[in-house]
Amino acid sequence: MTVIPVILSGGAGTRLWPLSREMYPKQLLALTSKQTMLQDTVARLAKIAGAMPPIVVCNEAHRFTVAEQMRAMERPASAILLEPAGRNTAPAVALAALKGLDINADATLVVAPADHVIRDVHKFAQAADVAVSLAQEDKLITFGIVAHAPETGYGYIRRGEGAGPAYPVAQFIEKPHLDLAVQFVATGDYYWNSGMFVFKASRYLSELRNFAPDILEACTAAYQAAKADLDFVRIDKAEFIKCRSESIDYAVMEKTRMPSCCRSMSVGAMSGPGPRCSMRFRG
């Protein structure tokens, strides 16, 4: 089994402005440990059993900083993909999935943003190992964080019926108003949507072909026209800018009918119908 972490590091860090700057967004800063948030993410994902060096997706302006931070850890990336424009997570993950297939036709991706803080790395790795196992059954897995407060700035996941430790996802809910968020927290059945996913690269691209074929077409053309540039894969700009901006939730996870599940596990963390899976974390 080939397990490839995918780190999404394209954010501008505007919510931490002016601490984060255009050239040094929060994921490239040491905010919660002696390492940067990107480096913490690399180290955390390396704890997953059998994990290869990661694929990192970032923008061109940050490429040298990303590469230097990876080298400082003595864990070079499997690839650093340079997005010529921001198009949200669905296209970014599509590019990573195409690269993953080039590495191994049966590659399983563990997708994570570069700016999460997860205190209990051991339990995260345990949860990720279970998710990787489930992905071998062609499930699409998403991680949920236990909602301990009625936050209105987060999306929510409602879990379906099940005995655990994995549950089907019953519904994705966009950022709710306060009264509704209070109800969600009171039931215990709603988790914050973490934006972390596990699935086979081939399965994700298949679902994208079903539900957002225009995104897949644009990303495939941009990837096939990409150029190697030192340590980087420079995605073709002329093709990529044709791609619409869309999140992975909207493009795939809220529409897929693939079997899925949700794992219940307590770890320290911050930060539709059909078959999906959610892994639960306690904040």
CB proximity list for 215: less than 8 A, separation 6 or greater: 90, 91, 94, 208, 243, 244, 246, 251
Each residue's pLDDT tens digit, 159-203:
888 766 678 888 889 899 999 999 999 998 898 888 999 999 999
pLDDT (tens digit per residue) in 134-161: 999 999 999 888 888 999 998 999 988 8
CB atoms within 10 A of CB 105: 11
Question: What distance in Å separates the CA atoms of residue 16 and residue 184, rounded to the nearest whole number?
Answer: 27
Q: Is the pTM of this model over 0.75?
A: yes
- Rounded to whole angstroms, the Cα distance separating 192 from 134 reads 21
pLDDT, tens digit, 9 for 90 and up, residues 44-103: 999 999 999 999 999 998 999 999 999 999 888 999 999 999 999 999 999 999 999 999
Q: What is the pLDDT of residues 204-247, one digit of tens each?
A: 999 999 999 999 999 999 999 999 998 899 999 999 999 999 99
Q: Of all residues in the chain, what percent carry a pLDDT higher than 70? A: 85
Q: How far is CA 226 from CA 36, 84, 233, in A?
A: 29, 11, 6
Quick one: tokens of 186? 């009171």
